[in-house]
Amino acid sequence: MRNYHIIVVIKDAPDTEELKKGVIQLLGRHEAKVSEDQKWGSRRLPHGMQHEHVGIYYCLTAQMDAGQVKELSHDLNIQSGVLRFMVSRADGK
């Protein structure tokens, strides 16, 4: 099990908290244990991602098996409300 930072940009909508909970549930389905949940705030998006001009940034720190990262990335890619994401190892390797 390794520590990962998952940076997620969620569309700014009235149900933003529900969208974030959906991402955390998705992490749970991939046997990830979320240890930290930071809201970085609302920011203007540089390119208008998926016709959205404002996004809410979150940084989630989770411990998960390295074999689950590819599947998690696929599921985040099709998750409703997620505009962009990035998964990186917390130790920087």
* pLDDT at residue 76 greater than cutoff 90: yes
Asked if residue 42 is part of any domain, the answer here is yes
47, 39 Cβ separation under 8 angstroms: no
Q: Is 14 a member of any domain?
A: no
In this prediction, residue 1 has a pLDDT band, given cuts at 50, 70 and 90, of confident
pTM of the model: 0.86
Query: Percentage of the chain surpassing pLDDT 90?
Result: 69
Domain that holds residue 50: 35-62
Q: By three-state DSSP, how is residue 43 classified?
A: strand
Report yes or no on 1 lying in a domain: no
Q: Looking at the domain assignment, is residue 77 inside a domain?
A: no
What total of structural domains would you count in the chain? 1
Q: Which amino acid is at 37?
A: D
Whether 40 maps to a domain, the answer reads: yes
